[in-house]
Amino acid sequence: MTGLRRAIAELETNPRQREAFHHEGHCVVLAPPGSGKTKLLTTKAVWLANNAVAPDRGLACITLTNPAAAELRTRIRRLGQTAGRTVFVGTVHSFAWSHIIRPFASAAGYPKLSKYALAPRGEANAAMREAIRRVFSSHEDTRYVDSTVRRHRKLCLTEEEWTATGPGIRAVALEYERLLRGNDYVDFDDVIAMAARLVEEHLFVRTVLHARYPYLMVDEYQDLAPGLHRIVTALSFDAGNTTLFAVGDPDQAIYGWTGTRPELLLELAGRESVHRVDLRINYRCGALIAAAGRRILGSDGPEAVTSREGGSVTTRCEPRGLSAQANYIAGRILELQADEVPLHEIAVLAPTHDDCDELVTALRSHDIPVAWRADAYSSTPLTTTLESFAAWASCGREDSGYKLGDLLDQWQQLGDWEVLRVGTDDVVTVLLSAAADTSAGEFVETVMTIMESTGALNALRSDDANELVHMREALDPSGEMSHFSVRDLGRLRLRDGRVEVSTMSASKGLEFDHVFIAALEQGKLPFFNSARGSAAWNEDRRKFYVSFTRARETVEVLYSGWYMTKWGSRKSNGPSVFLRESGLV
């Protein structure tokens, strides 16, 4: 039985999944953690690509983040389908840039739009600082101007709504945009606003996109901000004809800083032309974990339905602080390891990067291998491909889980297919000759030499080009990852043999047998300036829920009742209020 047939057969055993899989029109699937919603989406996408999409047409699978897009590609490949011309897989931003702005901006009367580049983070941050300096005087309090402007731009406010924010905020936004345009730059928020305008105002854009992509599949719809929602609705409803299949869960909306509004998913599901399917069964969490998760949410909805019995939930106070929590966790990990639990089935989660750094240091002091990616560079299609190359080169197909053919397909989708195909043989030679213990920096530079010789380096997408700079800086002899070997770089794509350490936000989409959640202090979660009942407070609660439901078998929550701020002051606020409200303390 092929992977696709097996996946379909498994869906057929769940009446609600079967209903969504066979529905032919617009469909929105609402589903709790571990309910198989992403499996449902990828299975339906591959089936449609092979049975319902005409030659020279395709379908688009989009999601918010690069790691989520990489997971979609992996699942689609496992079902026997290569992501490429027939099946586009990527972030909503890459779809907006590559398939809306670049092809249609000039024809729609905006020739400059297609010539702009994505601003590097440093350039964008410098432009924002300069815009604030020009608008506000030196004695005014501007601590929250940056974050306020960025959030309002993500929300794609109307002029009337901008007016309500105050003259200073709008002035900073306009000056920031003027400074970017002066350098032929746009940022991610500009990309979405421009793409939304093109699909909403121009019928020919919607017509051509429908002809190319008659089906639009959206994973984790609750993470889409209003501008992204406008693009989807314009393509599928407002004089658009593209068939929409979307999956998501408002209770897992934890990216508020991107402007997300989880209620948009419920509005979408309530449209008259949309068929709504509610999945109920959590296949991941033990019954006790799922029940505790519902208490964390304080949900009045239906009781959690699980396919797994048991589960274990414990809460522990370590009054000596985070270092004591880390030492306790290390001891427990060693016990689990002695019981032959694979290390990659263990996760340690915490609210902040600083918390994770302290936990990583403690675990490594106990000789526990750790998977932890700091902020050296972000995941993009290119950086992910380079890490995947390193995984295959150092571990081989059997241990890495990657097929060489799939990696080369991934390589050729980074830009112009014809240009990248020219360097394919050289890439294969590099992968076959790379030694696992050699420098990761040298390995990446060798691949970059191939890209430069073929002209592919100059044709990279802006986000790939920006993060490549950060990746090369990190792997440089003076960089923070200078000690990385090819094996170390490859292991960033693999979990085998290492404990996963992650912030609570970054844990979304992952699952483990055993999960430790550290630093659950009031002031850290919820964050100290999240007002009770506010959107930020509710998102902090959902963040705890998402982290909690990563576990299949056990969850251990730790707190001390106090923490040290980065300015050196001690805050003795007690455990997180969410622990008390959910009955965990």
**CB count, 10 Å around CB of 352?**
17
* HSE-up (13 A, CA, CB side) for residue 247: 26
Kindly report, residue by residue over 221-234, the tens digit of the pLDDT: 998 888 889 999 99
Residue 359, pLDDT > 90, answer yes
Q: Quick check: is 192 in a domain? A: no
Percent of the residues in the chain that have a pLDDT greater than 90, as a whole number: 55
Q: What is the pLDDT at residue 73?
A: 85
Same structural domain for residues 266 and 338?
A: no
CA-CA distance, 446 to 117, in Å (whole number)? 26
Residue range(s) defining the domain that contains residue 76? 3-102+199-278
Same domain, 257 and 160: no
- Report which residue type is found at 458: N
Go through 96-108 and write b for each residue having 16 or more CB atoms within 10 A of its CB, e for each that does not.
bbebbbebbbeeb
Residue 396's pLDDT is what? 73
Question: Of the residues 258, 278, 298, which one is the last residue of a structural domain?
Answer: 278
Closest C-alpha among 161, 133, 159 to residue 146: 133
| One domain for residues 396 and 488 | yes
Distance (Å, whole) CA 26 – CA 28? 7
Distance CA(543)–CA(508), nearest Å, equals 9
What domain count does the chain have? 4
456 Cβ partners below 8 Å, 6+ apart?
414, 415, 416, 419, 420, 423
- Cα four-point dihedral sign 224, 230, 234, 238: positive
**32 labelled ligand-binding:** yes
Contacts of 133 (CB under 8 A, 6+ apart): none
Find out whether 93 and 192 touch, Cβ atoms under 8 Å.
yes
Residue linked to tokens 């696992």: 436
Residues 487 and 388 in one domain: yes
CATH of the domain at 577: 3.40.50.300
Residue 111 in any domain: the answer is: no
374 occurs within a structural domain: no
pLDDT tens-digit readout, 162-211: 888 888 999 999 999 999 999 999 888 998 999 999 999 999 999 999 99
Which amino acid appears at position 562 of this protein? W
CA 520/CA 42 separation, integer angstroms:
35
Specify whether the CB–CB gap between 383 and 389 falls below 8 A.
no
pLDDT tens sequence across 510-528: 899 999 999 999 999 999 8
Dihedral class, residue 519 (left if φ above 0, else alpha if ψ from -120 to 50, else beta): left
Per-residue pLDDT, averaged over 376-392, amounts to: 87
pLDDT in tens, 134-159: 999 989 989 889 988 998 898 888 88
Instruction: Copy the structure tokens of residue 407.
Output: 């990696």
| 3-class state of residue 561 by DSSP | coil
| Residue of 347, 282, 372 lying closest to 514 (CA atoms) | 347
Question: What is the rounded distance in angstroms from the CA atom of residue 103 to the CA atom of residue 424?
Answer: 27
38 is in an annotated binding site: yes
Q: Is 31 annotated as a binding residue?
A: yes
- Give which of 122, 130, 162 is closest to 146, Cα–Cα: 130
User: Within this chain, do residues 502 and 488 fall inside the same structural domain, yes or no?
Assistant: no
387 and 488 both lie in a single domain: yes
Rounded-to-integer distance, Cα 214 and Cα 45, Å: 12
Query: Is it the case that residue 20 has pLDDT exceeding 90?
Result: yes
Q: Which helix (H) or strand (E) holds 192?
A: helix 188-201
User: Does residue 141 fall inside a structural domain?
Assistant: yes
Contact 482, 488 (CB under 8 A): no
Structure tokens at 509: 């989409």
CA dist., res. 463 & res. 452, Å (int): 17
Answer yes or no: is pLDDT of 509 > 70.
yes
In a domain, residue 375? The reply is no
Pairing of strands 563-564, 570-571: antiparallel
Helical H segments across 377-461, by residue range: 381-400, 404-412, 417-422, 424-433, 440-454
Task: Choose the final residue of a domain: 445, 466, 492.
Answer: 492
Strand partners, 28: 246, 276
Q: Is residue 556 part of a domain?
A: yes
Mark whether 346 and 302 lie in a shared domain. Answer: yes
| Mean pLDDT along residues 452-463 | 77
Using alpha carbons, list the distances in angstroms from residue 416 to 404, 413, 447: 20, 7, 16
Instruction: Check the annotation: does 242 bind a ligand.
Output: no
Phi, psi at residue 96, to the nearest 5°? -65, -40
SS3 88: strand
77 plus 208 within the same structural domain? yes
Reported as a pLDDT band with limits 50, 70 and 90, residue 339 is very high
Q: Give counts: helices (H), strands (E), the chain.
A: 26, 18
**pLDDT for 397:** 65
371 is in an annotated binding site: no
Cβ 188 vs Cβ 466: under 8 Å: no
d(CA 164, CA 392): 54
Per residue in 24-60, pLDDT tens? Answer: 999 999 999 999 999 999 999 999 999 998 888 889 9
Q: What is the pLDDT of residue 373?
A: 67
Same domain, 473 and 505: no
Secondary structure (3-state) at 11? helix
- Residue 233 tokens, joined: 């609705």
Q: By mean pLDDT, which of 254-263, 321-330, 379-388, 408-417 is the weakest?
A: 408-417
Please check whether residues 485 and 512 belong to one and the same domain. Answer: no
Q: Calculate the CA 61 to chain-centre distance.
A: 14
Question: What pLDDT is recorded for position 319?
Answer: 97
- pTM for the full model? 0.85
Strands (E), 214-361: 215-218, 243-248, 275-278, 281-286, 305-308, 312-317, 346-350
Write out the two tokens for 443.
């390995």
312 assigned to a ligand binding site: no
Asked whether residue 210 falls in the same domain as residue 227, the answer is yes
Most confident range (mean pLDDT) of 7-11, 64-68, 514-518 is: 514-518
Residue 317 domain flag: yes
Euclidean distance between CA atoms 234 and 553, whole angstroms:
43
Would you give the DSSP letter of residue 91? E
User: Looking at residue 1, what is its pLDDT?
Assistant: 47
Ligand-binding site membership of 55 (annotated): no
| pLDDT for the residue numbered 167 | 83
DSSP-derived secondary structure letter, 505: G
Q: Provide the strand spans (E) within 242-331.
A: 243-248, 275-278, 281-286, 305-308, 312-317
Please tell me whether 36 is known to bind a ligand: yes
Q: 193 in a domain, yes or no? A: no
Q: Which of 376-380, 564-568, 579-583 has the lowest mean pLDDT?
A: 376-380
Residue where a domain stops, chosen among 448, 472, 492: 492
Please state, in angstroms and rounded to a whole number, the distance separating the CA atoms of residues 557 and 515: 8
**Same domain flag for 93 and 203:** yes
Distance between CA atoms of residues 252 and 539, nearest Å = 9
Which residues make beta-bridge pairs with 305?
281
For 206, what's the count of Cα atoms within 13 Å in the CB-facing half-sphere?
Answer: 21
- Positive or negative: CA dihedral 12, 15, 16, 20: positive
Residue 39 and residue 61: Cα distance in Å, rounded? Answer: 13
Per-residue confidence band for 398, with pLDDT thresholds at 50, 70 and 90: low
